[in-house]
């Protein structure tokens, strides 16, 4: 555990997940995807969640982004009971407090980089005149300021992933959830994304949870948790 992380823990957990379970009923059996998951994430941390395919990593991340609801358990973010939110409050939660980076570096097709970053600001009700500055700042953080008006279809894989990171950052969320953010990148670009993450959490207010298969990427994170058969183990 590095110095940054240990200093953050003093201030209390940003995310607190307790006894979280997720079970699917396929009509024949009950499939237990997550068993009594307990997780605390502190501001300034980058937490890696590793595990084999089908172990429940993405399900946990989707629950943290409240794209999915758990079968039981509790989930607090910044002291707020997230699971008690209604549908509109969940959308509010996603646009104000969470940024998501998807595995397949999903950008809006046939749109420019600017337009991709503008949508979270539109949904957050940010004034139109304030958007260019915030978009430029987010892109600068991932060294893509010069690509602001390029079409997303013409970007390389690494650039697309960095745009996705910038998009997750643009509303200055408390938590960034990244599902295999380096999965489609080469080693250099993968490490570059992690460098960006490190810079983001250096403000001591933001936390990042990264789902990854790559031990090298995990090694660069503050903390690593292993998930196997739906059970989360702290390493």
The least CB distance from residue 175 to other proteins, in Å, is 13
Q: Which of 180, 161, 185, 189 is nearest to 218 (CA)?
A: 180
* 175-194 footprint of other proteins as x/- string (CB under 8 A): --------------------
The least CB distance from residue 43 to other proteins, in Å, is 21
The least CB distance from residue 182 to other proteins, in Å, is 19
Inter-helix orientation angle 131-141/157-169, to 10°? 130
As beta bridge partners, residue 178 has 101, 210
As beta bridge partners, residue 22 has 34
Residue 76 binds to other proteins (criterion: CB under 8 A): no
Of 76 and 123, the one with the shorter C-beta distance to other proteins is 123
* 113-152 footprint of other proteins as x/- string (CB under 8 A): --x---xx-xxxx--x------------------------
Stretch touching other proteins by CB under 8 A, among 24-32, 98-106, 194-202, 208-216: 98-106
Of 67 and 76, the one with the shorter C-beta distance to other proteins is 67
Stretch touching other proteins by CB under 8 A, among 41-49, 63-71, 208-216, 222-230: 63-71
Residue ranges binding other proteins (CB under 8 A): 62, 65, 67-68, 87-88, 91-92, 94-96, 100, 102, 106, 108-110, 115, 119-120, 122-125, 128, 167, 171
């Amino acid at each position: 555990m590095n110095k940054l992380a240990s200093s953050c823990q003093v201030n209390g957990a940003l995310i607190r997940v307790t006894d979280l379970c997720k079970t699917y009923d396929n009509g024949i059996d009950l499939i237990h995807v997550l068993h009594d998951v307990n997780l605390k994430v502190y501001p300034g941390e980058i937490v890696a969640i590793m595990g084999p395919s089908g172990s429940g990593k993405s399900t946990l991340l989707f629950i943290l982004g409240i794209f999915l609801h758990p079968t039981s358990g509790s989930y607090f973010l910044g002291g707020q009971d997230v699971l008690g939110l209604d549908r509109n409050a969940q959308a509010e939660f996603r646009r104000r407090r969470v940024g998501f980076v998807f595995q397949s570096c999903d950008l809006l097709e046939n749109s420019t980089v600017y337009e991709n970053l503008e949508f979270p600001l539109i949904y957050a009700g940010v004034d139109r005149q304030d958007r260019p500055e915030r978009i430029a700042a987010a892109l600068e953080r991932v060294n893509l300021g010069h690509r602001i008006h390029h079409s997303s279809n013409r970007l390389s894989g690494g650039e697309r992933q960095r745009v996705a990171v910038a998009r997750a950052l643009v509303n200055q969320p408390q938590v960034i959830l990244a599902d295999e953010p380096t999965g489609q990148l080469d080693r250099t670009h993968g490490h570059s994304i992690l460098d960006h993450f490190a810079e983001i959490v250096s403000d001591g207010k933001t936390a990042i949870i990264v789902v990854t298969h790559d031990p090298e990427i995990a090694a660069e994170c503050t903390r690593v948790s292993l998930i196997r058969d739906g059970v989360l183990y702290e390493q």
